[in-house]
């Protein structure tokens, strides 16, 4: 038996793991005590990595569908089929007739990230969709406008702050999102132990709220109103710090004017938090020796997600807490993708905004991708540019995108679909081909994205610990093969150049890029062969990772030295404040009669939709329940533990209800990623696990108008008693959505 060290690839926490391997099988997985970042912490998901590697339901050979039946085919036959069908659709209907959807796991595999750019370029389509617009696009758009790159994301210096204000996040469970912080529960406790304060604003008294100093309920979708009132109070009461950042002094009067109508007294009723409490929170934040406001998914996935995300940055900036110890800071990772994209925007992927729009709903692109909520309509709607062929890579959009039942039906209309995936799931069951790839410990790992989001600067490279199953391809090899052959069909020059370049790239592998990126990153030695810098070889000598120190101020080097400034008052966002102000007026008039609002929630033992086939993670009590306040239930004649019918504009689900005063009155909650009840899947554990898809209720027509990010928070629903297993019906009137 051998012991190997790696990084868990399942979520943003990038916890170090110690893996006992015998032959080509995992014997056990535990936290790596010598990892300088995670220090031995892991969550239950890490131990379940073995379940995926050995899962009998995992696909290990390319599959082709014929009607309702599947059969194995060779890789040569599969690649031929993909290239011929995609090229044929594009030749007949145009480049935009093909689309691609990239799921969340792509971001956890640096080889998959690199090769996906190559594949998208080879497709040459405007119809690119990713999980970014499911949960994080508001943050990327804001960072582009304010800091000059979507990947310049300020991170809470949680290990040194004196005051942490959390909105729309549950880091005690997530271990950070756009804030990589393994063992975050201990980090939160440490703030209080050193005399600091943690305050949580959330429609649910979450696991994080339970260990915080204060928790305040907030009406879903109104975070931007609260943040605007906090900034308004700080400026109005003369608490702003203009000396630290010239950019603050430049825009303070403009911000004061734009936010003049957002007083705590005006927003209080709409937000659901008293004006006195709002003013007290603003004063406490401004007075703290160091403070940081952290807003994540809950504030992104709502009608004013971009405004809320921007106002988090503004609050940190006007209180002097942007780019300072204990505030919101920018990591200096070994591969500085944020700084690199800011200096060289064409390399950064095509950084741009609203260069083209979706065909049906006229939604703006960002960074080369369209809002994923538009995918179903682009398949359904006839005409020039209609999507007729689709590639999905490591994604399950039927369970991940809003109005999943609509997308489920739309996928049946495609001329051709290929899925790069491990499983026959709710989405891939529609594919003509499923192409299996390596997973987790079967390929090397360098978490480039999440080192750039970490609360401490570290670096770690992990070699593969397991041999891939026979017949399984690396995503890098697969994407490059398909891309080079698609290019070869374009013109005579591509036919000559593309094949040898593709073979060369596959031979070099993603390690060649990694070696180059480390050498020329902030910690590398560049062209100087005698300099002492961080290299891939050095990382390989330190299997537990290398600690590069705490976060450091970077704005002077990134901005002021080059004559550039932060853009803390983007005109597009200032203009959107008028829309926010109008919504305050609407909510104030009917805040008590608005019915029920649906929000999501996160569970430590689940990972979106694709870890539910692990028995060790789904065993135990039902975790896909509707949380509801007892008074809301009493008003509707609903009893604890019974099944209820939840209905929105787009659909209905039946689910067990759990009554709890951890929910705000008027708000109910369902977790994300469940609902494995569709025919044609091959998930033996997940299919036996109770649960419904919250995205059978979320509305694909509701988006943040600035970024296009999906609106998952604050969906209007009705809840009533229903019949289950011949139990008597108890009819109740439904409140109007």
Owner of token pair 């689309």: 99
Q: What pLDDT score was predicted for residue 593?
A: 55
What are the beta bridge partners of residue 219?
Answer: none
Q: Which helix (H) or strand (E) holds 475?
A: helix 475-488
Q: What pLDDT score was predicted for residue 342?
A: 65
pLDDT in tens, 441-479: 999 999 999 999 999 999 999 999 999 999 899 999 999
Q: What pLDDT score was predicted for residue 728?
A: 35
- Tell me the C-alpha distance between 328 and 617, whole Å: 34
Q: For residue 347, is pLDDT > 50? A: no
Q: Which helix (H) or strand (E) holds 293?
A: strand 292-295
- Tell me the C-alpha distance between 371 and 375, whole Å: 8
Q: What pLDDT score was predicted for residue 56?
A: 96
Q: Of 603 and 507, which is predicted with more confidence?
A: 603
Percentage of the chain beyond pLDDT 90 is: 82
The mean per-residue pLDDT over the stretch 349-355 comes to 69
Helix (H, G, I), strand (E, B) or coil at 472: coil
Name the token pair of 546. Answer: 């290398």
Q: For residue 727, is pLDDT > 60? A: no
- The mean predicted confidence, pLDDT, of the chain is 92
For 592-721, give the CATH class.
Answer: mainly beta
Q: Are 716 and 737 in contact (CB under 8 A)?
A: yes
Q: Are 419 and 403 in contact (CB under 8 A)?
A: no
Q: What pLDDT score was predicted for residue 344?
A: 52
Q: What pLDDT score was predicted for residue 507?
A: 82
Q: Of 492 and 564, which is predicted with more confidence?
A: 492
Please tell me the CATH code under which domain 138-334+566-573 is placed. Answer: 3.40.228.10
Q: Residue 263: which pLDDT band, with cuts at 50, 70 and 90?
A: very high
pLDDT in tens, 583-626: 998 888 665 556 899 999 999 999 888 899 999 999 999 999 99
Name the token pair of 497. Answer: 């150049």
What are the beta bridge partners of residue 653?
Answer: 646
Name the token pair of 662. Answer: 């951890």
Pairing of strands 667-669, 626-628: antiparallel
The DSSP secondary-structure symbol of 178 reads: S
- Tell me the C-alpha distance between 286 and 288, whole Å: 6
The mean per-residue pLDDT over the stretch 363-367 comes to 92
Could you tell me where the beta strands, DSSP code E, fall in 115-230? Answer: 128-130, 155-156, 163-167, 197-201, 214-216
The DSSP secondary-structure symbol of 445 reads: B
Q: For residue 67, is pLDDT > 50? A: yes
- Tell me the C-alpha distance between 505 and 487, whole Å: 14
Q: For residue 352, is pLDDT > 80? A: no
- Tell me the C-alpha distance between 104 and 507, whole Å: 26
User: What are the residue boundaries of the structural domains of the chain, listed by start?
Assistant: 138-334+566-573, 592-721
- Tell me the C-alpha distance between 127 and 421, whole Å: 20
Q: Where would I find the H helices in 520-570? A: 536-540, 555-558
Q: Residue 493: which pLDDT band, with cuts at 50, 70 and 90?
A: confident
């Amino acid at each position: 038996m051998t012991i190997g060290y790696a990084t868990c690839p399942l979520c943003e926490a990038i916890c170090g793991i110690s893996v006992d391997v015998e032959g080509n099988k995992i014997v056990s997985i535990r936290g790596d005590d010598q990892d300088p970042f995670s220090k031995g912490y892991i969550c239950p998901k890490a131990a379940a990595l073995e379940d995926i590697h050995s899962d009998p339901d995992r696909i290990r050979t390319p599959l082709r569908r014929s009607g309702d039946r599947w059969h194995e085919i060779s890789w040569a036959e599969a690649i031929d089929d993909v290239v011929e069908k995609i090229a044929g659709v594009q030749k007949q209907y145009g480049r935009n007739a093909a689309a691609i959807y990239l799921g969340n796991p792509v971001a956890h595999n640096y080889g998959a990230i690199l090769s996906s750019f190559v594949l998208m370029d080879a497709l040459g389509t405007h119809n690119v969709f990713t999980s970014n617009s499911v949960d994080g696009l508001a943050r990327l758009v804001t960072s582009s406008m304010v800091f000059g790159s979507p990947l310049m994301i300020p991170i809470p210096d949680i290990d040194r702050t004196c005051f942490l204000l959390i909105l729309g996040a549950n880091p005690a469970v997530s271990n950070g999102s756009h804030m990589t912080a393994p063992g975050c529960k201990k980090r939160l406790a440490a703030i209080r132990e050193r005399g600091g304060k943690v305050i949580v604003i959330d429609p649910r008294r979450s696991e994080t709220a339970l260990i915080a100093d204060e928790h305040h309920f907030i009406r879903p979708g109104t975070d931007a109103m609260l943040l605007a009132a906090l900034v308004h109070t700080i400026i109005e009461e003369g608490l702003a710090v203009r000396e630290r950042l010239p950019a603050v002094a430049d825009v303070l009067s403009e911000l004061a004017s734009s936010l003049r109508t957002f007083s705590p007294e005006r927003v209080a009723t709409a937000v659901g938090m008293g004006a006195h409490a709002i003013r007290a929170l603003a004063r406490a934040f401004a007075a703290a020796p160091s403070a940081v406001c952290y807003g994540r998914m809950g504030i992104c996935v709502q009608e004013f997600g971009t405004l809320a995300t921007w106002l988090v940055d503004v609050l940190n900036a006007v209180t002097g807490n942007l780019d300072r110890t204990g505030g919101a800071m920018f990591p200096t990772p070994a591969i500085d993708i944020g700084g690199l994209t800011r200096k060289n925007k064409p390399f950064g992927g095509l950084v741009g905004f609203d260069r083209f729009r979706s065909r049906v709903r006229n939604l703006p692109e960002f960074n080369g991708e369209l809002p994923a909520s538009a995918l179903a309509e682009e398949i359904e709607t006839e005409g020039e540019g209609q999507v007729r062929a689709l590639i999905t890579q490591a994604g399950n959009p039927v369970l991940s995108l809003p109005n999943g039942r609509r997308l489920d039906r739309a996928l049946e209309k495609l001329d051709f679909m290929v899925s790069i995936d491990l499983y026959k799931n709710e989405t891939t069951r529609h594919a003509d081909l499923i192409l299996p790839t390596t997973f987790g410990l079967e390929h090397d790992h360098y978490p480039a994205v999440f080192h750039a989001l970490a609360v401490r600067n570290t670096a770690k490279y992990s070699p593969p610990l397991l041999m891939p199953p026979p017949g399984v391809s690396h995503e890098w090899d697969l994407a490059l093969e398909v891309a080079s052959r698609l290019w070869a069909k374009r013109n005579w020059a591509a036919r000559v150049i593309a094949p040898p370049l593709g073979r060369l790239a596959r031979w070099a592998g993603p390690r060649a890029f990694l070696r180059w990126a480390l050498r020329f990153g902030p910690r590398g030695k560049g062209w100087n062969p005698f300099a002492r810098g961080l290299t891939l070889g050095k990382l390989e000598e330190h299997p537990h990772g290398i600690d590069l120190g705490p976060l450091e101020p970077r704005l002077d080097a990134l901005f002021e030295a080059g004559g550039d400034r932060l853009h803390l008052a983007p005109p597009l966002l200032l203009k959107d404040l008028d829309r926010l102000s109008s919504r305050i007026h609407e909510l104030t008039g009917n805040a008590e009669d608005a019915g029920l609002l649906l929000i999501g929630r996160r569970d430590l033992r689940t990972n979106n939709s694709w870890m539910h086939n692990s028995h060790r993670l789904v065993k135990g009590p039902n975790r896909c329940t509707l949380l509801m306040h007892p008074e809301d239930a009493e008003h509707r004649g609903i009893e604890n533990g019974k099944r209820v019918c939840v209905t929105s504009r787009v659909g209905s689900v039946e689910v067990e209800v759990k009554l709890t005063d951890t929910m705000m009155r008027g708000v109910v909650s369902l977790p994300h990623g469940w609902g494995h009840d569709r025919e044609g899947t091959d998930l033996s554990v997940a299919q036996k696990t109770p649960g419904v898809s919250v995205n059978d209720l979320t509305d694909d027509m509701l988006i943040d108008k600035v970024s296009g990010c999906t609106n998952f928070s604050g969906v209007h629903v009705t809840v009533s008693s229903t019949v289950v297993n011949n139990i008597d019906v108890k009819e109740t009137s439904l409140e109007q959505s």
